[in-house]
Structure 1
Amino acid sequence: MAARPVRLALCLAPLLLVVVWGLTNRPLMYEGAARLTSADPGWLLAALGFTCLGWVAASCVRQGALPERLPPGLLLASQFAAGAANHALPAGIGAHAVTLRFLRGRGIPLDRATASLALYSLVKPVAKTLVLVVFLAASPAGRQLGELVPDRRTLLTVLAAVVTLAAVAAVLLTVVQSLRRPVTALLRTALADARQLHTRPCRVLALWGGAAAMPLLQACVVASVGSAMGLPVSWAEVVIAFLAAGTAVGAVPAPGGIAVDAALVFTLVAFGSPLALATATVIGFRVLTDWLPLLPGALVLSALIRSKVL
């Protein structure tokens, strides 16, 4: 009997989060909606199409990170619902929690499901960085970044922070035996699954192809919104701006990508866009990718919980 109130609370929690988020972000929602009402509807429709393809790409990466075949429809629904969960927790934790519940419901053991999430989290930034390098090498727009490229002091600071974190992790694993055993088992499982996945071309294509497509599709959403609003920046420049902003500050654990949005506005301005128009473009991007799907995503999340898929 006690399980029913708990499940009901879990079903209603996503909707409650949507209401709270909407009430606390009323000015942003109003400004973004007002800008979009005067934009070119054709380009906005294209942006919506790229947004939908982004969920398909995310599903491909999730499937590519696991040897077992997952039901495509439910996998896509879980990724759509994961977008709503991401507004409650920062740094992708909400999406990972939803996916973990989904994988456990499909009978995947906890260690292998966790290893799948780790592989997903590793492949995404690596693929994004590789795509950025290709665009910087192939497009003359990359030379316009100029002042946005970190100097040697910044790079050394970042490197020192990474080395320090690695050293602290190594010390903890060496000293704390209770922590070493599960982490070692997780790494062993992750390496075994990664080796198996990379012997199957279909999984490699889904994993790496989907991871490369995700940031490109998101950049196409920004470019489409910018075209709808008359942004004086080319598509190649918008793609480079989005990839550079996401790569630079994508690891900042801020809900809703606040740090990435600020960096994207700054990068678009560096490419010659007026500040007001760059801000409106990023707001429009968030309206289409986050705010508009938020309520449907919460409803899907509640439905998946109610049907015990999650």
Structure 2
Amino acid sequence: MVPNVNGAPATGRRGVYWQTGACLAVLVCAGWLLRRHWPTVEHGALRLAVADQGWLFVAAVAAVGTWACSALAQQGAVTPRLPGRRLVATQFAASAANHVLPAGLGAGAVNLRFLMRCGLPAGRGASALAVKAAAGVVVRLALIAVLAPACPGLLRTPHVSTAALLALAAAAVMALVLLRVRVWPRCRGAVAAVVTDLRALHTRPVRAAALWGGSLAFTGLHALVLIAVTRAVELPLSPARVALLYLAASGAAALLPTPGGLGSLDAALALALTASGTPAATAASAVLGYRLLTVWLPLLPGLLVLGVLIRRRAL
């Protein structure tokens, strides 16, 4: 049997088509929801315009700090020392690129190119990105485990019928079989490389502290942005509950391949806030303020920094 030399590119193109299709579907649904609830969104925007400026300034400072924390975590994911200023600028540019391409592809491509420019081979750079991503997931799960007992009843499991439970169980079994048969053999080497890199990094306490401390601070500052915005619009929820809702909503939105969570994170945050008893207009104000500070205001400057880095061959 003659192997199909074009199989890999064709498979890659099919993956891109499916991902793009899923992204467009999510964006269409988000647009439909925006149009349907436009009066609430408009009222939320007006409420945000007269919000407490002091709390909005705190949120803006926290948003700026996320790029430094991301740079710290990225430094912790590699053994060689990276140029500090270019590393922070790259994280700022990567955050903008992440909102142009779906499912984090933009940020991953920018960071990988930066690591390669710093002398790391492509394989080691990709492994460093995977280490940073794995640390971020562990930190989020740990924070949810800590905050959930402090906020009892906030994250409620929806009531489902027996037939739905059986269907979910069957789907889970099929997914596990698919992962074991098709996905795991292809990812085994990559997982082994990530585990090896994690062990090597933990032999250097400074790098391990940068990785875990940067990941924790990055997630915590994003939660602080939302907390400060909720304070600015006088949303009646405690900081711990807002942080837990943010972690749950951002985790759910990460399953949908939209650029920077556009549409998916907005809907998940709004749903989480309103499900906790927040008025719809206030929830809309909080989501708009959070996205304004973390996405829309930094987007154009981030793309300009990306262009400068490319022009100077830093990427």
Quickly name the TM-score band, shorter chain normalised. Answer: 0.7 to 0.9
Provide closer, same or farther for how the CA distance between residues 228 and 128 of structure 1 changes in structure 2, counting only shifts above 3 A.
same
Aligned residue identity for 1:93: L
Number of aligned residue pairs: give it.
274
Aligned residue identity for 1:142: P
CA displacement 1:193-236 (0-9 Å, x = unmatched): 22110111111111122222222211111111111111111111
Aligned residue identity for 1:298: L
Q: TM-score, normalised by structure 1?
A: 0.80
Q: Give the 5 Å matches for 1:1-310.
A: 34-137=46-149, 139=150, 141-147=151-157, 153=165, 156=169, 159-160=172-173, 162-170=175-183, 173=185, 186-257=190-261, 258-310=263-315
Provide closer, same or farther for how the CA distance between residues 246 and 166 of structure 1 changes in structure 2, counting only shifts above 3 A.
same
Shift, 1:92, TM fit? 1.1
Cα distance in 2 for partners of 1:305, 1:150 equals 51
Runs of 4+ in 1 over 4 A off after TM superposition: 25-28, 30-35, 147-152, 183-188
SS at match of 2:154: helix
CA-atom RMSD, angstroms? 2.7
Shift, 1:288, TM fit? 0.4
Q: Which runs of 5+ in 1 are unaligned?
A: 1-24, 174-179
Aligned residue identity for 1:160: V
Q: TM-score, normalised by structure 2?
A: 0.79
Shift, 1:37, TM fit? 2.6
CA displacement 1:239-268 (0-9 Å, x = unmatched): 011011122332221123122221211111
Contact 1:86–1:256 (CA under 8 A) maintained in structure 2: yes
Contact 1:226–1:281 (CA under 8 A) maintained in structure 2: yes
Provide closer, same or farther for how the CA distance between residues 142 and 155 of structure 1 changes in structure 2, counting only shifts above 3 A.
farther
Q: Which runs of 5+ in 2 are unaligned?
A: 1-30
Aligned residue identity for 1:224: A
